[in-house]
Copies of this chain bind each other. A is one copy, B any other.
């Protein structure tokens, strides 16, 4: 059975094909397609191997070959094959197609194709479309000072780094949401298809609405092998594959073979069928009276040889259609004349003289197969999302602020106010359709449910009459997969939109590596003038460590901050708003930023409130500051001790500790410093938000003890401050990995972050503990003992702790 027959045979079995429209490509068209493909393959091989002699006008010499051969051939011819077939349908139909290249090692293909279509030279004018440019193009590839061997931010037309595998399909869906005219062709390699995130990503079709969203055309590329092994999906039988993908909700079209011309015919027919099907689905869904049913979207399963058209054997060993073609099929072609001969024959097999003219320009009759202008996949604006980004219309956050009364008097859930703010964001940008909220099934549990006053959760499965806030259209995306939430949001942002991901603090580690890769993308993109800034990736981390007393140790981990703090300073911001109004300011601020990763950590539980809107604004703008209203040290004077805090629970505990100290040791001069923006602690030479040493010393003094209550692992504070004058006097309390199922206050006690331990820590460091310190320590020890016994008996915190009676007064009340 030839590939042409195979596809025909399989199509007949598809239930949804009522009319079989095989592309009737004539020999001329087929010939052009094949030549275009050969050109892309030639330019790919050239990048991997050649330093010079780019058109092989002369016999291939040793010095024409790069000394170090670094790059990946295996997946490349398949990617080139797909690219040329997409080019054809874009030209024929005028569709906007975004090409997402999942295979990590597809760099040569994407560079080759964007070069051939002209996008590359427009982006990088020094890489001209002639022999000189071709030489430069070849030389720079995987070369110091040049471009990576993977698809990367440097690659025009890409929103997807080909480094760590697993995220091609989530990026594709993220790009398609709210882009009704866009089709995202997403090539999934059979290596990547083994990963967890990719395996879950197929279910993204349950969140894609053909009425308002674009389409994703997955192309599963089974070329059989990873680095040194066959792949699972390639060795599965077609019958199992068909079951699997029908089970996922797709209709797979199989294209399989190795003879170029029948393969072109089969691929052209499949792409046409898939595009027809997408058009039909969208037409149907965009008519009046659409049933709202999730359609069965098409997908293509392409089985083609790894290293297709490369050397069949080298040194008597199988290379084409085997894992040995994964990287560089012919090693040491510089030093080994026999190998160089194989390379030369291989390159000449594409007949470069038929592809490029005397000046080294791609022959116009072949080049004409590519689309023009912004329809070229290397020039599609969606792949440089900053070009399309519109700023969000944001509400006046102060109009939503809380009237806090006296400090500590008002109890509120900070994230509930944030929910109201996000509701307004959704309302104001409803028409623009450029903001989405992601989360693993926790929008309501995180108290953000005000958003459901103006939108719903998007849901393409059955909706029961008793379901709440599920709808075919909805701007909230909930799925129990942090990978999907993260990946969809990345895809959405990278194509020029905005969003926020709310997550349990402990479980955000699930996407550590994805955040890593996104941070890398942002760092490199920022160095490329042609890449326009995209909206920041914003996190709300809630249900945090100090309120996971009920879920226990497995849910307690504040380490994401440590992880993120290792990334480039330009990219990273960590915010710990201590109450509702500061959270509002921070949220508003983050949504106005670009090219950053903003991590907001804030609790969802009822807590005392501290700052008015005006105070919150001043405090947050500074990033950290002295809370004079709670300090007992007169402004401008040196305190006996600094009590510092960062995070909502640490702030509560520090304020309770100082409250106690104010009453018990009225002469003690205490300064309270609260840190909202953690990066202020770093030096301004390290981080743009960092304080100068003078600013830092003005808060933390040069020599007084600093008791620092921090939300996370204490080490991070030491790491950020070890170069500061007063660092040796920093005593940081934070999470010490002591967690279990207990009460909220007991969690603080177990880790010595509670008011009593903080008081004792302060008293111990005073120069003159005789001023009554011993009595206070006794008092604290007694309180801790009482707490322990109460908690063991009743399973909840003592009323005195839960309803602490605050002595703080507002500035006005205090008469100052």
**Residues on A facing B (Cβ under 8 Å):** 51, 66-68, 70, 142-150, 152, 161-166, 191-192, 194-203, 206, 226-232, 235-236, 240-249, 318, 322, 441-445, 457, 459, 461-462, 464, 466-467, 470, 478-481, 483-484, 506-507, 509-510, 512-513, 516-517, 520, 523-524, 550-555, 557, 559, 562-563, 565-568, 713, 715, 718-719, 722, 727, 737, 740-743, 746, 791-792, 794-796
Cα A166 to Cα B741 with chains together (Å): 22
In chain B, what residue has the closest Cβ to A202?
B199
A480-B195 in contact (CB<8A)? yes
User: CB-CB < 8 A to A241: which residues of B?
Assistant: 247
9 A-B contacts, Cβ less than 8 Å apart?
A67-B795, A145-B792, A148-B740, A163-B555, A165-B480, A240-B246, A247-B247, A509-B513, A562-B566
In chain B, what residue has the closest Cβ to A568?
B737
Of the candidates B195, B242, B554, B795, the one whose C-beta lies within 8 Å of that of A150 is: B554
User: CB-CB < 8 A to A242: which residues of B?
Assistant: 247
Most buried by B among A200, A480, A722, A746: A480
- Tell me the minimal C-beta distance from A539 to chain B in angstroms: 15
User: CB-CB < 8 A to A197: which residues of B?
Assistant: 196
B196-A441 in contact (CB<8A)? no
User: CB-CB < 8 A to A466: which residues of B?
Assistant: 318, 322
A550-B244 in contact (CB<8A)? no
- Tell me the minimal C-beta distance from A254 to chain B in angstroms: 14
B445-A483 in contact (CB<8A)? no
Of the candidates B148, B231, B509, B562, the one whose C-beta lies within 8 Å of that of A516 is: B509
User: CB-CB < 8 A to A562: which residues of B?
Assistant: 562-563, 566
Of the candidates B441, B520, B795, the one whose C-beta lies within 8 Å of that of A228 is: B441
B559-A566 in contact (CB<8A)? yes
- Tell me the minimal C-beta distance from A510 to chain B in angstroms: 5
Cα A791 to Cα B66 with chains together (Å): 12
Cα A203 to Cα B200 with chains together (Å): 12
In chain B, what residue has the closest Cβ to A721?
B722
User: CB-CB < 8 A to A462: which residues of B?
Assistant: 235
B228-A715 in contact (CB<8A)? no
B516-A513 in contact (CB<8A)? no
Given contacts A195-B481, A559-B563, contact A550 B164 (CB under 8 A): no
A470-B557 in contact (CB<8A)? no
Cα A557 to Cα B506 with chains together (Å): 21
In chain B, what residue has the closest Cβ to A793?
B144
User: CB-CB < 8 A to A143: which residues of B?
Assistant: 741, 795
User: CB-CB < 8 A to A201: which residues of B?
Assistant: 196
User: CB-CB < 8 A to A568: which residues of B?
Assistant: 737
User: CB-CB < 8 A to A737: which residues of B?
Assistant: 523, 566-568
A200-B194 in contact (CB<8A)? yes
Cα A371 to Cα B143 with chains together (Å): 66
- Tell me the minimal C-beta distance from A78 to chain B in angstroms: 17
Of the candidates B200, B228, B235, B247, the one whose C-beta lies within 8 Å of that of A445 is: B228
- Tell me the minimal C-beta distance from A714 to chain B in angstroms: 10
In chain B, what residue has the closest Cβ to A161?
B554
In chain B, what residue has the closest Cβ to A190?
B480
Given contacts A199-B196, A480-B231, contact A557 B516 (CB under 8 A): yes
Cα A637 to Cα B240 with chains together (Å): 72
A226-B517 in contact (CB<8A)? no
User: CB-CB < 8 A to A230: which residues of B?
Assistant: 459, 461, 464, 467, 470
User: CB-CB < 8 A to A557: which residues of B?
Assistant: 516
Cα A515 to Cα B243 with chains together (Å): 34
- Tell me the minimal C-beta distance from A759 to chain B in angstroms: 22
Cα A517 to Cα B244 with chains together (Å): 31
Cα A479 to Cα B230 with chains together (Å): 10
User: CB-CB < 8 A to A523: which residues of B?
Assistant: 553, 737
User: CB-CB < 8 A to A552: which residues of B?
Assistant: 148-150, 152, 163
A554-B792 in contact (CB<8A)? no
